[in-house]
């Protein structure tokens, strides 16, 4: 049997497995609550695995291993930042968000600000972030499948796009959650097996120190030590990247939405513990994969296949485990991408259908059935849009696009989320302006940066996009766009005049006391909660 036939068999198996889950889940996907947040009945460990599944995207599995294999230490920043970000999520954001929200991020903001402009702005940023993230995943998937199965990039993107649409439209959040769980288990098993193979090589002898020594002596010391200081701009760019990494997660809609799929704060907490252990152990192994690929595949072979190193992990599997293991790892990478894209589509379509269609266009009067139909229709629309945008993005790098999605999330969502929870004077104008300033300053800075304004002759592997020299010298915008997001919140609040006090009198804002108490305790309706422990469907009517 040819190697390609083995690859195809594994792909078909993975697709059959995920479709099977979808069919099973579709029988349980009966209401909007099931569709958006799996009825709020997912268990802690399941949700922990699902968070890991959502989080460990193509950028983590393919991108970081590739970056470490080609550039060494600087690729490891991504691993550290992606993990430490969970402290921001756990300590500052997760519980208040859970206690205040219902289906989406905008619900949490709307629990304080009683105005459709806040919902619209939050829906816009959710869709923008999900799009960035989705284009990155589809782009990675396209490159991977093109390489493995010989189908061309455009067709690969279309096939994955259609698959994920089927998952979402039929299965909703229940299917997505179970696909994430299966994928997380496969990904961890694959990563562990691959790491054991690397460590079992005679030159390593199950001693991780030997791995570093080998890289140091065979490839060069600059692969192990951090890149030398290269001036103010380069140094601040490293800081800027790290700001986006550590804050971005707390603004990622498809991760935040996961805290709403569990029944209480305790379960939300335990799911973060599970997720943080899994994600942390995975990232701890990324140097083994990256350095292993550099040693046993060779940097030239990796760069020849994909200039950004995105196929380093599958190539390592082929070099050490042969064609069957290669097919398995590739299928895992494929499942990873499909699962992450599915999670993103749920987040983006919920934002549009629930926040924009149901609450803004229909003024909160859409029936369950209409909402459900709108959510499914938007899922199709968003998938089509992402496919169309991913096709011309063929030359862009996966990990880079994801890092930008993190920057957009950190700039547009994080300031507003934090200030909604912690700032008494915050008002509607501040919330809207904060989201818009953060979102657009980040996107504009990206366009003015060397990423897009590449100049006529960019250094390979970059290809020219806009042949003008960059106006903004930094690759990563977060150092400026995150403070701008906070500034937008602050100035908007001043411009809004009167502040929170007057808005409360006008009924535009819920009293901060209520928000504060609810965000800390999750108490939504005291008298009722005393009488019976079943929470109400829509506790707040004001």
Partner 1 sequence: MERSDEWVRVERTSAFRELRQKRKAFILPATIFFLVFYFGLPFLTAFTTVLDVNVIGAINLAYVYAFAQFAMTWILMHLYVGRANRWDDLVDRARHEAAEDDESGRTGGTGGSE
Chain residues that interact with partner 1, rule: CB under 8 A: 73, 76-77, 80-81, 83-84, 86-88, 90-92, 95, 209-210, 212-213, 215-217, 221, 224-229, 234-236, 238-239, 241-242, 246, 265-266, 269-270, 272-273, 276-277, 280, 283-284, 287, 511, 513-514, 516-518, 520-523, 526-527, 529-530, 542
Distance, in Å, from the CA atom of 307 to the CA atom of 299, rounded to the nearest integer, reads 10
In terms of C-beta density within 10 A (0-12 exposed, 13-18 middle, 19 or more buried), how is residue 280 classed?
Answer: middle
CB-side neighbour CA atoms (13 Å) of 71: 17
- Compute the least distance from the CB of residue 76 to partner 1, in Å: 6
Place of tokens 């501040």: 430
- Does residue 428 contact residue 118 with C-beta atoms inside 8 Å? yes
Name the token pair of 186: 């496969």
- Compute the least distance from the CB of residue 418 to partner 1, in Å: 11
Angle ∠(116,122,127) on CA atoms, nearest 5: 125
- Compute the least distance from the CB of residue 204 to partner 1, in Å: 12
Place of tokens 């890289």: 215
Residue 365 or 542: the one with the smaller Cβ distance to partner 1 is 542
- Compute the least distance from the CB of residue 92 to partner 1, in Å: 7
Name the token pair of 262: 């569990």
Distance, in Å, from the CA atom of 51 to the CA atom of 47, rounded to the nearest integer, reads 6
- Compute the least distance from the CB of residue 454 to partner 1, in Å: 23
- Compute the least distance from the CB of residue 452 to partner 1, in Å: 23
Distance, in Å, from the CA atom of 474 to the CA atom of 470, rounded to the nearest integer, reads 9
Residue 45 or 516: the one with the smaller Cβ distance to partner 1 is 516
Distance, in Å, from the CA atom of 453 to the CA atom of 447, rounded to the nearest integer, reads 7
Residue 189 or 520: the one with the smaller Cβ distance to partner 1 is 520
Place of tokens 């599997």: 317
- Compute the least distance from the CB of residue 213 to partner 1, in Å: 5
Phi-psi region of 499 (alpha: psi -120 to 50; beta: other; left: phi over 0): left
Furthest-apart CA pair in the chain: how many Å?
74
Residue 235 or 322: the one with the smaller Cβ distance to partner 1 is 235
- Does residue 383 contact residue 136 with C-beta atoms inside 8 Å? no
Number of Cβ atoms within 10 Å of the Cβ of 199: 17
- Compute the least distance from the CB of residue 68 to partner 1, in Å: 12
- Compute the least distance from the CB of residue 388 to partner 1, in Å: 36
Residue 28 or 270: the one with the smaller Cβ distance to partner 1 is 270
Burial 247-258 (b: 16+ CB within 10 A, else e): bbbbbbbbbbbb
Residue 162 or 526: the one with the smaller Cβ distance to partner 1 is 526
Backbone angles phi, psi at 100, to 5 degrees: -100, -25
């Amino acid at each position: 049997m040819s190697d390609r036939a083995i690859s195809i068999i594994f792909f078909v198996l993975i697709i059959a497995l995920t479709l099977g889950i979808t069919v099973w889940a579709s029988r349980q996907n009966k209401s909007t609550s099931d569709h958006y947040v799996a009825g709020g009945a997912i268990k802690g460990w399941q949700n922990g695995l699902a968070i890991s599944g959502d989080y460990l995207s193509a950028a983590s599995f393919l991108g970081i291993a590739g970056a470490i294999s080609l550039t060494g230490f600087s690729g490891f920043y991504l691993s550290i930042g992606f993990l430490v970000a969970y402290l921001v999520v756990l300590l500052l954001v997760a519980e208040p968000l859970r206690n205040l929200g219902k289906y989406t991020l905008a619900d949490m903001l709307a629990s304080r600000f009683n105005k459709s402009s806040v919902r619209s702005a939050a829906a816009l940023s959710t869709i923008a972030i999900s799009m960035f993230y989705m284009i990155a995943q589809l782009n990675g998937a396209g490159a991977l499948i093109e390489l493995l199965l010989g189908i061309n990039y455009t067709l690969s993107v279309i096939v994955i796009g259609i698959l994920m649409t089927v998952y979402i439209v039929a299965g909703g959040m229940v299917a997505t959650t179970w696909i994430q769980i299966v994928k997380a288990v496969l990904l961890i098993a694959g990563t562990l097996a691959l790491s054991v193979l690397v460590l079992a090589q005679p030159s390593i002898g199950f001693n991780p120190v030997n791995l570093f020594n080998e890289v140091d002596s065979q490839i060069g010391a600059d692969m192990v030590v951090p890149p030398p200081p290269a001036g103010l701009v380069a140094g601040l760019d490293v800081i800027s990247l790290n700001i986006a990494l550590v804050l971005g997660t707390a603004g990622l809609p498809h991760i935040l939405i996961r805290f709403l799929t569990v029944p209480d704060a305790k379960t939300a907490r335990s799911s973060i513990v599970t997720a943080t252990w899994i994600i942390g152990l995975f990232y701890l192994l990324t140097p083994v994969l990256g350095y292993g690929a550099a040693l046993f595949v060779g940097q030239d072979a990796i760069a020849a296949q994909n200039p950004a190193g995105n196929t380093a992990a599958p190539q390592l599997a082929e070099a050490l485990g042969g064609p069957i293991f290669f097919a398995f790892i590739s299928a895992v990478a494929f499942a990873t991408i499909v699962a992450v894209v599915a999670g993103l589509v749920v987040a983006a379509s919920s934002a549009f259908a629930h926040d924009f269609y149901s609450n803004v266009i229909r003024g909160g009067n859409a029936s369950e059935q209409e909402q459900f139909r709108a959510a499914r229709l938007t899922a199709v629309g968003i998938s089509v849009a992402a496919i169309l945008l991913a096709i011309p993005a063929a030359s862009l790098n996966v990990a880079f696009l994801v890092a930008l999605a993190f920057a957009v999330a950190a700039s547009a969502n994080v300031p507003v989320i934090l200030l909604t929870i912690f700032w008494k004077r915050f008002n509607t104008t501040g919330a809207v302006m904060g989201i818009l300033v953060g979102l657009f300053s980040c996107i504009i800075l990206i366009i003015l940066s060397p990423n897009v304004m590449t100049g006529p002759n960019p250094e390979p592997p970059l290809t020219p996009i806009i042949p003008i020299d960059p106006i903004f010298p930094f690759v990563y915008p977060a150092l400026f766009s995150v403070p701008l997001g906070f500034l937008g919140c602050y100035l908007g609040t001043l411009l809004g005049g009167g502040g929170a006090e007057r808005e409360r009198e006008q009924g535009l804002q819920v009293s901060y006391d209520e928000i504060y108490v609810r965000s800390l305790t999750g108490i939504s309706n005291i008298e009722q909660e005393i009488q019976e422990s079943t929470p109400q469907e829509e506790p707040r009517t004001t």
